[in-house]
Structure 1
Amino acid sequence: MIVGIDLGTTHSLIGCHDATGPRLFANALGEFLTPSVVSMDASGQVVVGQPARDRMVSHPQASVANFKRWMGSPRETRLGAHSFRPEELSALILRSLIADAEAALGERIDEAVISVPAYFSDAQRKATRAAGELAGIRVERLINEPTAAALAYGLREKADGARFLVFDLGGGTFDVSVLEMFEGVVEVHASAGDNFLGGEDFLDLLEQACRADLKLADSALDASQRGQLRRRLEAAKRDLGSRGQAQVELSLGDRQLAWQIDEDRFARLADPLVQRMRAPLERAMRDARLKPEQLDEIVLVGGASRMPLVARTVSRMFGRLPLRHVNPDRAIALGACIAAGLKSRDQQLEEVILTDVCPYSLGTEVARRDERGRVVTGFFEPIIQRNNSVPVSREETFWPIHERQRQLQLDVYQGESPLVEKNIKLGALTVDIDPALPIAQNAVTVRFTYDINGVLQVEARVHADDRRYELLLEQNPGLLDAQQIRERLAALNDIKIHPRSKQENLAVLARAERLYEEHLLARDQLQEWIARFRAALESQDDALIREHRREFARALDTLESA
């Protein structure tokens, strides 16, 4: 069985494509959105999703979120006695999603199509695949999030030649892609984005403004109180979108603090982030060689695109209202489900070909001679320019810089800077050449081939004797190799993860602990409710536990809405 997964910065979703079309699976709590949060309890068991999100307030030192932004890096996070890489944290989310899907389907899942930001680098894409492997599934296909959104909107069914722009602002990343439909082909013309711009950055702005107005220094809030503040600011951000103003109340020791903000002030605070959004939009249009009036549709997806200032920015830039009729939180997941159906050759789906582009330029380091004949190194020579449709293959010919040179060092980079020091090094290939030959006869042709799965093949051919060298860039510095994945997988299998069957009980207790942190006046009542529910759990009577859980949840609803 092949499923589609949206592995998001703030929330993740899973689904499949069947006779009724794309459908998403609810988690154990009955929700389609599973927070991308991991926590570890006192017994050393891993908690994932909504219970972990609640524990971000009550147990901030044992919880972590937003780790999608660290994919492709060797950064590690300590939770209890264990250290986790971003791939492993993502794998824990994937395992939870897969358990939900298997519970709904009643069959084992062995493969997934996972969506990634269009502007994810080579290393980040490979880290996403590694996360799938650590979760016990095969990930042969990654689909760019804007392409998935296009499938969800049914834009593949538009008239031939239709062009549209997908604007995807999620919790942690921003992507924009320009696509065109032609004879059953969804072709990406250009992609651009910012892997460090999303809803979390707008939340950071609200936090900075709130703390400045209330004169709260960094030392004034501990980790738990900061978690409370951010949770309430997140609710305020939603209120700003629906009501145009919001109020935040915070208990800080014996102090009761209140803060207000309206949509106008929020828009002024957010202007630097809005300007950061404009740059990738303009770049994608420029790379696609299109003018705004040549677009047929503009589509907004991603949870953060709900903010009115986002829709206003896009409307002003393109002179029209964007499409938003598909739930922006679910659009990418639904598109991933359709991509999974296409991959499994679901007969319900009309055959459609998806093409994508290489999001970064790929090339090598070269040396040049200046006007005085001196050799200057460190220049970047692109071989595959960004936004070329993939699969793509390009070649260039290079010569040694010195007489009697014995080797050419081909350092492979990705990026857009003219200087390699500002780009990302992917690997290196050393080519032997004949030092007896003159420079003009010592040419080496280098071919780069980049496929739809993000694998870069580098081939070098020495003209003098037709010797060939090859480098397959399936790994990057800082990423796990096959042996390390096996070792990490064994370690993850030894870590106890709360079973899906206990998630509802765990979630209501985690929520109660969070409310205990937030509501000083209700602490005695909350302790009584927690003790009563724990006693019901000890009875191991499923009917009694269900009854107490419903009563407990209703009581917490009443407290939280008061």
Structure 2
Amino acid sequence: MAVYGIDLGTTYSCIAYVDDVGRPTVLRNLEGTDTTPSVVFFESPDNVVVGATAKDSAVIEPDLVVSRIKRDMGQDVPRIRHGRPYTPEEISAFILRKLADDARTATGETVDDVVITVPAYFGAAERDATRKAGQIAGLNVIDIVSEPIAAAITYGVLNPDKDHTILVYDLGGGTFDTTVITLQGGNIEVICTDGDHELGGADWDDRLVEHLAERFQAEHPDAGSPLLDKQSEQQLRRDAEELKKTLSSRTQHVVRVVHEGRVATVELTREELTELTRDLLDRTIEITRRTMETAASKGVEAYDHLVLVGGSTKMPAVTETLQKEFQLTPRLQDPDLAVAKGAALYAFEETYRRLLLSGERDQAEDMAARAGLSADQQDQIAARTIKTVASRAFGIIVTDKENRRRSVEHLVHANDPLPAAVTQDFYTIDAGQTGVNIEVMEQAGTVESDEPEDNGQIAEGVLKIPPGKPAGWPIEVTFALDTSGLLQVTSRERETGEELELRVQIGGMSEEDVAESRAALSRVQVS
């Protein structure tokens, strides 16, 4: 039984599995490349195109193309195409279906069981939305795992002979994370993590797009801005991405900007790109430094390696700046594919362990035999532990009895070990209350704050209170955050035993909505 790891990226995605000699292997798509652009072209209501062709179509029919949808995960921001609103989960599901279908073509086996990766700094909302996207795509999502953990698994397999403390710097197409991880005896422990899921290589592209448009207008001041024409803008975006990639290997490059029949020839050097985007790189350095300070407070003072993950780490300025700021020599760790490979290894190992725990030893042994694992390797997999931490703080809204000020009381804090289960009593503030509104909040800013506006609501419900109760009547609230970062909240009124269970629900998609979307989108052709 094959299981798969999927790196569902902002700009590119890929899928991997463990082959018959135990190696994590990325499966190429039908176009013959390891990675697939995370771009969806709604050619018609019944036909959707994903990948390179969709990316090309953005130049001609930009209104029918959706890209960077990962940045909308966990938000209620549907995109309307051909008169139908599509949620971020549904659009991501099309990308997942493309990956699964191409993998089936490559292996001859149907893709069912998968692990999907997410940025370490994704909160409960985004993680839940990612799980639902997998379900809509018709996949059995074994687990949601953080990208740095997946990268660390790949690193550990490639460097098995000694213990390491590593700092993972993960700059992808649309998100950025830094994570401190220890590898000891094959076990993985996340010490702390930090990041910004609105910062990535796409922001470097945006900066280049603006620069190219400005240079065009400087040369042709009587022409309109290329950014006001959707087709010209999309072509600029393609040119900017290629320019950024080219300047990773060359020191200068020339781009022709074409708009309204006019042409501007723009030459850009690697140094100019670095200056144009210096503030973006500085933001990653600030977050990295903050992560290292948190790690120091937990006893981590030295690092064996600084591991670079994510395609955007190929920019020379990243390596140069990190080495200068932290006196660590960065190591490129298969930046485009390490996460998918690690997810495949995680999926394999997790499935193997679950088979053993459920008493299905024959299936587990068959799985190990197909992968060519030795008895020692099987024992190591069975014994391996992975410990992680909360990426953000979670709490509920409380109201002060005296001044009626609303604030957030956090029950789980960023970088608390997972799984976390916290129970705390709260109290009514008025006599005769018939219910209390439970508002579950998640840290939205870079630091924990009790101000409601610095947090985002991710769940809400009303717990009934028996009539005639005095002010100060106790309410029990329990937060349970699992190792995947998925949250469940339960509140209970002790006298009656009345319970309110709140599952984090994103974008208005209930489990029933997910089932309906899965049925509806299964009738859409994806290519």
- Would you say same fold, with TM above 0.5? yes
Given the alignment, which residue of 217, 233, 237 partners 1:230?
Answer: 237
Within 5 Å, which residues of 2 pair with 1:35-54? 35-41=37-43, 45-54=47-56
Q: Which residue of 2 aligns with 1:480?
A: 509
Q: Which amino acid aligns with 1:397?
A: D
Secondary structure of 2:479's partner? strand
Asked if 1:412 is matched to 2:414, the reply is no
Which of 449, 458, 467 is the aligned partner of 1:426? 458
Distance in 2, matches of 1:72 and 1:113, equals: 18
Counterpart of 1:297 in structure 2 is 305
Query: What is residue 527 of structure 1 aligned with on the other side?
Result: none
User: Does structure 1 conserve the Cα–Cα contact (< 8 Å) formed by 2:166 and 2:180?
Assistant: yes
8 Å contact kept, 1:38–1:63: yes
For 2:298 and 2:272, the matched residues in 1 are separated by 34
- Whichever residue aligns with residue 384 of structure 1, its letter is V
Amino acid at match of 1:395: T
After TM superposition, the structure 1 stretch with the greater mean CA deviation from structure 2, 341-350 or 139-148, is 341-350
Bigger mean CA deviation after superposition, 206-215 or 406-415: 406-415
Determine if contact 2:195/2:287 at 8 Å carries over to the other structure: yes
Other-structure match for 1:131: 133
**What amino acid sits opposite 1:123 in the alignment?**
A
CA displacement at 1:217 relative to structure 2: 4.7
Partner-residue secondary structure (3-state), 1:376: coil
Give 1:8 deviation, angstroms: 0.8
1:448 to 2:472 alignment: no
Measured at CA, do residues 366 and 245 of structure 1 come closer, stay the same or move farther in structure 2, by a change above 3 Å?
A: same
Equivalenced residue count is 490
Paired letter, 2:319: A
Query: Which position in structure 2 is the counterpart of 1:493?
Result: 522
Q: Could you say which residue in structure 2 is the equivalent of 1:528?
A: none
SS at match of 1:447: strand
1:81 is displaced (CA, Å) by: 5.0
Bigger radius of gyration: 1
Shift of 1:106: 1.4
Distance 1:222 1:408, change over 3 A: closer
Among 402, 408, 429, the alignment partner of 1:401 is 429
Comparing 69-78 and 134-143, the one that deviates more: 69-78
Structure 1 counterpart of 2:389:
357
Identity %: 33
Query: For residue 279 of structure 2, what is the aligned residue in structure 1?
Result: 272
Which structure features the higher share of helix residues?
1
Select the residue among 394, 398, 405 that pairs with 1:366: 398
Residue 160 of structure 1 and its aligned partner are, at CA, apart by 6.9
The corresponding residue for 1:105 is 107
CA change 1:408–1:262 in 2 (3 A) is same
Pair 1:182–1:218, CA change in 2 (3 A): same
State how far apart, in whole Å, the 1-side matches of 2:226 and 2:86 are.
Answer: 28
Please state if 1:308 is matched with 2:316: yes
Alpha-carbon separation, structure 1, partners of 2:137 and 2:4 = 14
Backbone CA RMSD of aligned residues: 2.5
1:139-178 to 2 correspondence within 5 Å?
Answer: 139-154=141-156, 162-178=164-180
SS class of match (1:172): coil
Distance in 1 (alpha carbons) for counterparts of 2:44 and 2:426: 60
* TM-score, normalised with respect to structure 1: 0.81
Taking a change above 3 Å as real, the CA distance of residues 367 and 84 of structure 1, as seen in their structure-2 partners, is closer
Per the alignment, residue 356 of structure 2 pairs with none
Indicate if the aligned counterparts of 2:182 and 2:189 stay in contact, CA closer than 8 A.
yes
CA distance in 2, matches of 1:220, 1:105: 43
Question: How many Å apart are 1:258 and its aligned residue?
Answer: 0.4
Could you tell me how far 1:147 is from its partner in structure 2?
0.6
The 1:468/1:102 distance shift into structure 2, 3 A limit, reads same
Alpha-carbon separation, structure 2, partners of 1:471 and 1:43: 37
Check conservation: 2:181, 2:189, Cα contact below 8 A.
yes
Residue 14 (structure 1) shift: 0.8
Is there any run of 5+ residues in structure 1 with no aligned partner, and where? 499-562
CA distance in structure 1 between the partners assigned to 2:86 and 2:176 by the alignment? 25
- 1:122 is matched with 124
Aligned-partner Cα distance in 2 for 1:143–1:88: 20
Q: Look up the equivalent residue of 1:309 and give its one-letter code.
A: A
For residues 49 and 315 of structure 1, do their structure 2 counterparts lie closer, same or farther at Cα, with a shift above 3 Å needed? same
Report the alpha carbon displacement of residue 158 of structure 1 after superposing the two structures with TM. Answer: 5.3
Change (3 A) 1:396 1:316: farther
Q: TM-score, normalised by structure 2?
A: 0.86
Instruction: Work out which of the residue numbers 478, 497, 507 in structure 2 matches 1:467.
Output: 497
Deviates more, 1:197-206 or 1:251-260: 251-260
Residue 256 to residue 285, structure 1, CA distance change in 2 (3 Å):
same
Cα deviation digits, residues 227-281 of structure 1 (max 9, x gap): 2222122221122221222211133344221011222222222122122212322
Residue identity matched to 1:414: E
Paired letter, 1:423: N
DSSP-derived class of the 2:404 partner: strand
Output the amino acid matched with 1:306: K
Aligned residue type for 2:392: Y
* Alpha-carbon spacing, 1:104–1:156, altered in 2? closer, same or farther (3 Å): closer
Tell me how far apart the structure 1 counterparts of residues 79 and 439 of structure 2 sit (CA, whole Å): 31
Give 1:473's aligned amino acid.
R
Q: Is the 8 A contact 2:188 2:386 kept in 1?
A: yes
CA contact (8 A) 1:180 1:187 kept: yes
Residue 116 of structure 1 contacts residue 142 of structure 1 at CA under 8 Å; is this kept in 2? yes
Q: Is the 8 A contact 1:44 1:80 kept in 2?
A: no
Would you say the 8 A contact 1:72–1:479 is kept in 2?
no
Separation in structure 1 between the aligned mates of residue 395 and residue 521 of structure 2, nearest angstrom:
37
Could you tell me how far 1:187 is from its partner in structure 2?
1.0
Report the counterpart of residue 344 of structure 1 in structure 2: 351
Residue in 2 that maps onto 1:335? 342
Cα deviation, residue 78, structure 1: 3.2
Aligned match of 1:389 in 391, 411, 417?
A: 417
CA-CA distance at 1:384 after TM superposition: 0.9
Q: Distance in 1 between matches of 2:158 and 2:433?
A: 54
Q: Which residue of 2 aligns with 1:186?
A: 188
| Between 123-132 and 214-223, the greater mean CA deviation after superposition | 214-223
* Structure 2 gaps, min length 5: 218-222, 353-366
Find the counterpart in structure 1 of residue 225 from structure 2: 218
Q: Which whole-Å deviations, capped at 9, do the CAs of 1:137-196 have from their partners, x for residues lacking one? A: 111301100111111112695577632111111111111111112343211111111111
- Relative to structure 1, the CA distance from residue 383 to residue 292 in structure 2 (aligned partners, 3 Å threshold; closer, same or farther) is closer
Q: What is the CA deviation profile of residues 504-559 of structure 1, one whole-angstrom value per residue up to 9, with x for unaligned ones?
A: xxxxxxxxxxxxxxxxxxxxxxxxxxxxxxxxxxxxxxxxxxxxxxxxxxxxxxxx
Which SS does the other structure have where 1:328 is aligned?
Answer: coil
Partner residue of 2:11?
10
Q: Distance in 1 between matches of 2:83 and 2:496?
A: 55
AA at the equivalent of 1:418: D
Once the two structures are superposed, what CA deviation does each residue of 1:66-114 show, in whole Å capped at 9, x if it has no partner? 1111112222223345442221221111111111111122122211001
Query: In 1, distance between residues paired with 2:437 and 2:525?
Result: 47
